[in-house]
Amino acid sequence: MKIEHSLKFVTEFKEGHPVTMQMKMLDEGTRVVMLESLLKELVGSRLQPILDEINENGSYAILKVAE
């Protein structure tokens, strides 16, 4: 059995910053996909050692980063 979690993250952009203006021009779906892929890229590899430690004694469940 596999259960996919739905963790929520929030990205706050500084008002008036040029990047904020660019993000405002994108539709909501594109923003979410872009930020989720960036977050996964930046955090995913750093999470692996923590997941390995958590899963070390996992006799009934293993935690993974979903693709």
Question: Is position 22 within any domain?
Answer: yes
Q: Which residues contact 53 (CB under 8 A, 6 or more apart)?
A: none
Range of the domain at 29: 18-55
Give the per-residue pLDDT at 1: 92
Question: Is position 4 within any domain?
Answer: no
Question: Is position 64 within any domain?
Answer: no
Total of domains in the chain: 1
Give the per-residue pLDDT at 6: 85
Give the per-residue pLDDT at 9: 87
Question: Is position 12 within any domain?
Answer: no
Question: Is position 28 within any domain?
Answer: yes
What's the burial of 3, exposed, middle or buried (CB within 10 Å: 0-12/13-18/19+)? exposed
Residues of the chain with pLDDT below 70 are none
Give the per-residue pLDDT at 15: 96
Q: Are 13 and 19 in contact (CB under 8 A)?
A: yes
- Write the pLDDT tens digit of every residue in 28-45: 999 999 999 998 888 888
